[in-house]
Amino acid sequence: MSAEQLAQLSDLLVVAAVLLYVFAMVAFAIELAFGKGRADKPAVASSAAPEQAVAERAEARKPVAVAAGGTTAAAEAATPPDERASAAPSDDHAAVTPSGGGAAVAGSGATGSATRAAKVALALAWVGWAAHLTAIATRGLAVDRWPWGNMYEFVVAICFAAVTAFLGTQLRYNVRFLGAFVMVAAALGLGLAVKFFYTAAGPVVPALNSYWIAIHVTAAIISSGLFTMAGVSGVLYLVRGDGVSRLPSRADLERVAHRAIVLAFPLWTFAVIAGALWADRAWGRYWGWDPKEVWSFITWVAYAAYLHAKVTAGWRGRASTIVQLVAFACLMFNLIGVNVFISGLHSYADV
């Protein structure tokens, strides 16, 4: 195939990926709608009266005399409430538990409709992912370079990284509850890229014609995809109401976000360092306070603050979620706002 044909195929595959992600989103939404709801559980016990909590735990652990042939209710009374809760089987299909390759759908407490919708949703998501991957590959073959040299290609790659992060996590843990929201984020991102950022396949500016684009930009894309999955979890955490909900517990949402950020932060750190090394080769200095450099560093500081607060200050729940969403907002402004609205040495948006 010629370069022009490869470029046209890439454009068609991007549109196909958008449609497949939309259909997958609908199927994931059906699973949420017809699945069983669950009551929210606090991530940590209340610290208002720690002495009282310790006393209650100690009292609950005291042996209880049970007559021969006594009922199981008496034995249950001897078990601490928290242990009874952890031992009780859960009917929540959205808990963050090992999924055995993501195939453990049946028997998870969902109705038959939800079970079928879950299988269809995952199949559509994987087909969309394959179309998305092929679109990126054919774009790269058409332009004979790494296919993220402008804003259109960069956004397409970040959407792919976000979907990959979700599907990769689903292979190990059951995180289908994120499916509808990751799919809509990917579909909207690709639609935004096609509508406003589209750039015809072609060469890049000389500054980007370097092997460093494969190192620096790839690390930024992968970490941005993981940060996006964490951001989706954070938004769901804030919108989830108390009591029974079809969304997973806040503890599960917080756990998913934290694990994604723990994986993404070292990659983002590497991307910032690699960018400084590339800047030295391209412009003769490691750091020049270019807007892109500044906001990359601000994003790094924001996520470092989130991790630091988690580890040292013991922040949990709403407070830590707000911090990570502030960091995610910095990331989005750095990836889109700086490229579109602020001119600088990194203004390669071509929009």
- Do 303 and 238 reside in the same domain of the chain? yes
**Which tens digits make up the pLDDT trace of 51-77?**
444 444 444 444 444 443 444 444 444
Q: Are 76 and 216 in a shared domain?
A: no
Report yes or no on 65 lying in a domain: yes
**Are both 80 and 119 inside the same structural domain?**
no
Residues 59, 194 within the same domain: no
56 and 26 part of one domain: no
Nearest to 120 by CA among 189, 180, 74: 180
Q: What is the percent of the chain with per-residue pLDDT over 90, rounded to a whole number?
A: 39
Q: What is the pLDDT of residues 220-255, one digit of tens each?
A: 999 999 999 999 999 999 888 776 577 888 888 899
- One domain for residues 76 and 190: no
DSSP 81-116: HHHHHHHSPP--TTS--B-TTTTTTTTSS--HHHHH
Q: What pLDDT is recorded for position 38? A: 60
Considering the domain architecture, whether residues 102 and 188 belong to the same structural domain is answered as yes
Provide the pLDDT for residue 40.
Answer: 63
| Whole-number pLDDT of residue 92 | 40
- pLDDT band for position 79 (50/70/90)? very low
Asked whether residue 23 is domain-assigned, the answer is: yes
User: Domain for residue 347, yes or no?
Assistant: no
| Bridge partner residues of 98 (DSSP) | 173
Classify residue 129: in a domain, yes or no: yes
**204 and 224 housed in the same domain:** yes
User: Per-residue pLDDT tens for 256-280?
Assistant: 999 999 999 999 999 999 988 988 8
Report the alpha-carbon distance of residue 138 to residue 5 in Å, rounded.
9
In sequence order, which residues have a C-beta less than 8 Å from that of residue 87 and are 6 or more positions away? 79
Q: Are 59 and 218 in contact (CB under 8 A)?
A: no
CB atoms within 10 A of CB 205: 11
Which tokens go with 39? 């009551």
Determine how many CB atoms are found less than 10 A away from the CB of residue 183.
Answer: 27
CA distance 95 to 304: 27
pTM reported for the whole predicted model? 0.75
Q: What does the pLDDT look like over 285-330, one tens digit per residue?
A: 888 888 888 899 999 999 999 999 888 877 878 888 999 999 999 9
Asked whether residue 187 falls in the same domain as residue 326, the answer is yes
Q: Give residue 314's pLDDT.
A: 74
Both 195 and 54 in a single domain?
no
Q: Is residue 16 part of a domain?
A: yes
DSSP per-residue letters across 211-265: THIIIIIHHHHHHHHHHHHHHHHHHHHHHPPSSEESSPPHHHHHHHHHHHHHHHH
Identify whether 93 is part of a domain.
no
Nearest to 135 by CA among 20, 267, 215: 20
Question: Which residue segment(s) compose the domain that 302 sits in?
Answer: 3-39+98-341
Shared-domain flag, residues 185 and 218? yes
Q: What angle do CA 218, 220, 225 make, to 5 degrees?
A: 95
114 and 239 housed in the same domain: yes
In a domain, 348, yes or no: no
Residue 173 DSSP class: B
Domain total in the chain: 2
